[in-house]
């Protein structure tokens, strides 16, 4: 169990609208500014606690996305709270990145490390952990193409991996109850969990650079494409939910997303 953080209060401040999120960000910036300018350690701790309470729903929201994957919900929330505390402690006002833009990858990075380091019942090599996730993500499509259960040899051939490694990964199933970070984020999703979490905890400068690169190319997208991107990557909707919103099937949403991401990569590469 992760120790409960006494600085985190139970009552969150909820922000369901853009105006509410902007107001929360403004108050957060004010509190962090006061903390940065204070020399009184007691006051600094109190201000840090207020920042955590104000933004705790962010941590809870991230923790909720990883529920049902083998880890206790309470543990996930405590790990997410720890990530929020680290974000508040290490956030730099002079960088210019919104606090939420720094906090989200920091919290996700903390949860990602927890899954990798603490959620295994029996420790197996990292390469087999990753291979299990790859098998889990690709096996349904392979078996659909074959029309039957795939053999270890067929799995190894489809993945381009050694048969011995595949057999070891299959034999180790059950050691880890949590779905791998290499599996799809949602059952109907084309993205892996690892695509949505930060590789490094404190990458606000990289994120700011990515936003600057994306802004001009996003302007060329039509209203529907921007709507799909917003619902998927800002609101966190599944492809099925997005399809219902814009009146198309989940498969069509998947194709639209794939095309948009491919076009954005091509434009950024150019």
**Same domain as 88, residue 28:** yes
pLDDT band of residue 10 (cuts 50, 70, 90) is very low
pLDDT for residue 20 = 83
Residue 144: which CATH number? 1.10.10
Number of domains in the chain: 3
Please check whether residue 115 is in contact with residue 211, taking contact to mean a CB–CB distance below 8 angstroms.
no
Least-confidence region, from 10-14, 28-32, 116-120, 184-188: 10-14
Residue 106: which CATH number? 1.20.120.1810
pLDDT for residue 109 = 85
**Same domain as 132, residue 107:** no
**Same domain as 104, residue 53:** yes
**Same domain as 159, residue 108:** no
**pLDDT over 60 (residue 218):** yes
pLDDT band of residue 5 (cuts 50, 70, 90) is very low
**Same domain as 58, residue 110:** yes
Q: How far apart are CA 170 and CA 128, in angstroms?
A: 9
**Same domain as 92, residue 29:** yes
Instruction: Locate 69 and state its tokens.
Output: 């994957």
**Same domain as 112, residue 71:** yes
Residue in 67, 134, 101 with CA at minimum distance from that of residue 202: 101
pLDDT for residue 175 = 55
* Structural domain harbouring 161: 126-171
Please check whether residue 121 is in contact with residue 234, taking contact to mean a CB–CB distance below 8 angstroms.
no
Instruction: Locate 46 and state its tokens.
Output: 């109190």
Least-confidence region, from 141-145, 173-177, 196-200, 251-255: 196-200
Q: Is residue 194 part of a domain?
A: no
**pLDDT over 60 (residue 198):** no
| Ranges of H-type helices in 147-222 | 152-159, 163-171, 204-218
Tens-place pLDDT, residues 18-61:
788 888 999 999 999 999 898 999 999 999 999 999 999 999 88
Non-local (6+) Cβ contacts of 253 within 8 A are 228, 239, 240, 242, 243, 246
Q: Strand, coil or helix: what is 192?
A: strand
């Amino acid at each position: 169990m992760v120790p409960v953080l006494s600085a985190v209060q139970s009552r969150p401040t909820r922000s369901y609208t853009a105006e509410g999120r902007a107001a929360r960000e403004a108050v957060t910036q004010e509190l962090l500014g006061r903390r940065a300018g204070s020399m009184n350690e007691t006051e600094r701790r109190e201000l840090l606690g207020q920042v955590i309470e104000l933004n705790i729903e962010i941590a809870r929201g991230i923790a909720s996305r990883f529920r049902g994957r083998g880890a206790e919900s309470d543990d996930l929330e405590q790990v997410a709270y720890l990530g929020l505390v680290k974000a508040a402690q290490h956030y730099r006002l002079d960088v210019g990145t919104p606090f939420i833009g720094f906090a989200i990858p920091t919290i996700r990075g903390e949860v990602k490390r927890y899954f990798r380091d603490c959620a295994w019942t029996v420790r197996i090599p990292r390469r087999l952990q990753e291979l299990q996730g790859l098998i889990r993500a690709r096996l349904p499509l392979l078996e659909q193409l074959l029309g039957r259960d795939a053999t270890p040899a067929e799995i190894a051939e489809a993945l381009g991996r050694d048969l011995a490694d595949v057999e070891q990964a299959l034999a180790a199933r059950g050691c880890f109850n949590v779905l791998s970070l290499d599996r799809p984020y949602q059952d109907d999703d084309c993205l892996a969990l690892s695509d949505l979490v930060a590789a490094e905890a404190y990458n606000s400068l990289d994120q700011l650079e990515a936003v600057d690169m994306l802004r001009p190319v996003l302007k060329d997208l039509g209203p529907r494409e921007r709507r799909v991107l917003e619902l998927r990557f800002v609101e966190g909707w599944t492809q099925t939910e997005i399809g219902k919103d814009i009146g198309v099937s989940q498969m069509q949403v998947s194709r639209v997303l794939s095309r948009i991401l491919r076009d954005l990569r091509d434009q950024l590469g150019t």
